[in-house]
Structure 1
Amino acid sequence: MFDYEFQNPEFLWLLCLLPVLGFWYYWRRKDSHPEIRFPEASFLAQSKFNRGALLYALPWVLRIFSIALLIVAMARPRNTEENNRSRSSEGIDIVMALDVSPSMLAQDLKPNRLEATKKVSTEFIDGRPNDRIGLVVYAAESMTQMPLTSDHALLKNSLNDLRYGFLANGTAIGMGLATTINRLKDSKAQSKVAILLTDGENNAGEIEPLSAADWAKEFNIRVYTIGVGTNGMAKTPVQQDGRGGFFYERMPVKIDEALLKEIANRTGGKYFRATDNKKLDAIYKEIDSLEKTKLKEIRFYTYEEKFGLFALSALGLFLLEILLRYTLLKSFV
């Protein structure tokens, strides 16, 4: 009834009494108004509309409707609005460690490795609304670009601002991983994940990558490693041109896949190789599927009571009946 639900629906059975009241009214009227025939008033019997009978019945119609509304009010009608909200029941903290050395400007991924990585990383962040995510960058040294945060808009702005050149040239994989572990080791999350991306070999830094991997294992941090670069040759920057750009030459792509695989194996993660944009996008989607946050759905119900509307309507009809019965229709009832 009007999309309402009833808190006490058993009272609606009382509506079955209304036809009984109507039948009782009919017999009461018949018994209280004996038929008297007047020859000169025979035209009234042929009338299709007996105004007097209708006016006599009107107070009783109002009475029955007021009783019906009162019964509905007793059944406690109400509107129900349902709202769903998801809450993380097993949190995941993720830190992305990105290589920002000049070789990340190589153009085997479009427009280059760094911009392609920023794009898929942004999409990855958008797909993890319930997780805290941080960002570490490294070249010959490493630094925390953004600590673990739930403010993904701020994180994406920081990611978008990444440029080459603010760290010394080189690739310190061990340093990048160690800084990532520092960001995760004190986390209280049920699952701690590092995503380490590079396009080269470890050639800088004071920390051995495998020592950092053992440290990650000690703190139950799972490391996914990604090697970025095509198989064979790639158009790679070799020298600055004096105008803020680079001279490019086709150079062999050298990625220490054995090292990256070992880091992943020691920590329970997985190694991936991204040879083009589609493959890089697929890798992040696979990591996303492997590290799904468990969600608990909570339902909230908002109730709006409507019995007052029906009770007031019943009272209004009852008062209207009394008013008509003792004023305008007094001569008919």
Structure 2
Amino acid sequence: MIELALPWALLLLPLPALMRLLPAYKESRDSVKVPFFDQLVALSEQRPEEGARILRRDRVQKILVAFTWLCLVLAATKPQWIGAPIEQQKSGRDLMVAVDLSGSMEARDFALPDGTTLNRLEAVKIVLDELASQRASDRLGLIVFGAAAYLQTPFTDEHEVWQQLLGETEIGMAGPSTVFGDAIGLAIKLFRESNADNRVLIMLTDGNDTGSTVPPVDAAKVAAANNIRIYTIAIGDPTTVGEDALDTQTIERVSELTRGRSFQALDQAQMREAYATIASMEPELYESVSFRPHQSLHWVPVAVAVIAFICYHLFMAAWTWHQGRLRRAA
């Protein structure tokens, strides 16, 4: 379908006709009237020749000028071809994953079905890879935290890149302690910069908060005000004491305040079960975006006018050359 972006430009079509209503431009010059003109011509032995004459356009030229004006006006209306509607599916949710990289994640207490043991971070990476493969509709981000919280991957649709950067994380690269609250604070900042209405934060930790600038519960209240749901997965041993002990009360309170849920994962099976539960609570979400492609055609009438102009002058040049040959032959 062809559509004119500036249809009001068609009002320019009658402009040449309106200009014909204006008075013609006339210029007067002084001249000498000689009563003995014929005798003067005879004495000078010259024949009188035609003076200035008005060149008038033939019918073809008039048609060509009108046609050229029509093409220029059509080009000014910016015609464009409107294609059929195209619908695309885009990510409907921003899902941020925050991974604890404190030293206690090195504990090898996760066993595979074949009996091989993994440390906690290795087990987390395996399950998160599966998560990325199953959440095709979500934009994923990655935060790592220890003594400080860092952005490892901003929100992206490129899940392979996200998985690659997850694989590059190492225990202790963010420091030995656990700033649980600061990780939530960083996630809030990133969510505020995104346009998604559906915001989910999954936090994996095996220890308690050890000195965040903002306490986890206070950070969770701010997250709730920003419509962010937090799901916490505690992957440590609840019987552990000291700095590495799990603060299950705080973890559960953070999830409760944000309308999320907390989970306990003592092995890989429980961790997968936690992700499956989150997946059921946060089903895949798509947003449909419909648009119609536009292709500008303003160059078409201009090209037609130029081609018509060139063809006319080529024809007249050939005609003049042909008539000249006929006169010379006569």
**Shorter-chain TM-score above 0.5:** yes
Confirm whether residue 285 of structure 1 aligns to residue 276 of structure 2. Answer: yes
Residue 229 of structure 2 contacts residue 258 of structure 2 at CA under 8 Å; is this kept in 1? yes
Match of 2:182 in 1: 175
The amino acid across from 2:263 in the alignment is F
Q: Distance in 1 between matches of 2:173 and 2:238?
A: 28
Residue 147 of structure 2 contacts residue 178 of structure 2 at CA under 8 Å; is this kept in 1? yes
Residue 90 of structure 1 contacts residue 293 of structure 1 at CA under 8 Å; is this kept in 2? no
Shift of 1:90: 7.2
- The number of residues matched between the two structures is 198
Shift of 1:296: 7.6
Match of 2:98 in 1: 97
Match of 2:15 in 1: none
Q: Distance in 2 between matches of 1:159 and 1:176?
A: 16
Q: Secondary structure at the match of 1:94?
A: strand
Deviations 1:27-58 (A, max 9, x none): xxxxxxxxxxxxxxxxxxxxxxxxxxxxxxxx
Match of 1:125 in 2: 132
Gaps of 5+ in 1: 1-84, 235-250, 299-333
The amino acid across from 2:96 in the alignment is V
Tell me the C-alpha RMSD between the 2 structures.
Answer: 2.5
Residue 223 of structure 1 contacts residue 268 of structure 1 at CA under 8 Å; is this kept in 2? yes
Deviations 1:129-162 (A, max 9, x none): 1110000000011100000000111100000111
Match of 2:219 in 1: 212
Q: Secondary structure at the match of 1:202?
A: coil
Residue 216 of structure 1 contacts residue 222 of structure 1 at CA under 8 Å; is this kept in 2? yes
Residue 198 of structure 1 contacts residue 228 of structure 1 at CA under 8 Å; is this kept in 2? yes
Shift of 1:89: 7.1
Confirm whether residue 257 of structure 1 aligns to residue 258 of structure 2. Answer: no
Q: Distance in 2 between matches of 1:159 and 1:286?
A: 22
- Which is further off, 178-187 or 130-139? 178-187
Residue 96 of structure 2 contacts residue 155 of structure 2 at CA under 8 Å; is this kept in 1? yes
The amino acid across from 1:277 in the alignment is Q
Shift of 1:204: 2.2
Residue 146 of structure 2 contacts residue 176 of structure 2 at CA under 8 Å; is this kept in 1? yes
Residue 138 of structure 2 contacts residue 285 of structure 2 at CA under 8 Å; is this kept in 1? no
Shift of 1:293: 2.0
* Identity level (%): 31
Q: Distance in 2 between matches of 1:100 and 1:86?
A: 41
More strand by share: 1
Shift of 1:285: 1.6
Match of 1:62 in 2: none
The amino acid across from 2:266 in the alignment is T
Gaps of 5+ in 2: 1-85, 111-116, 290-330
The amino acid across from 2:192 in the alignment is K
Match of 1:6 in 2: none
Match of 1:151 in 2: 158
Shift of 1:187: 2.2
Residue 177 of structure 1 contacts residue 213 of structure 1 at CA under 8 Å; is this kept in 2? yes
Deviations 1:229-268 (A, max 9, x none): 235469xxxxxxxxxxxxxxxx996211100110001001
TM-score by structure 1 length?
0.56
Residue 139 of structure 1 contacts residue 168 of structure 1 at CA under 8 Å; is this kept in 2? yes
Shift of 1:206: 1.3
Residue 143 of structure 2 contacts residue 183 of structure 2 at CA under 8 Å; is this kept in 1? yes
Q: Secondary structure at the match of 2:173?
A: coil
Shift of 1:106: 0.8
Greater relative contact order, per chain length (Cα 8 Å cut-off, separation 6+): 1
Match of 2:228 in 1: 221
Match of 1:68 in 2: none
Distance 1:168 1:127, change over 3 A: same
The amino acid across from 1:162 in the alignment is T
Shift of 1:295: 4.4
- Which is further off, 220-229 or 201-210? 201-210
Distance 1:88 1:262, change over 3 A: farther
Confirm whether residue 164 of structure 1 aligns to residue 186 of structure 2. Answer: no
Residue 230 of structure 1 contacts residue 253 of structure 1 at CA under 8 Å; is this kept in 2? no
Match of 2:121 in 1: 114
TM-score by structure 2 length?
0.56
Shift of 1:95: 0.3
Distance 1:104 1:135, change over 3 A: same
Deviations 1:265-315 (A, max 9, x none): 1001001010111001111121122111234899xxxxxxxxxxxxxxxxx
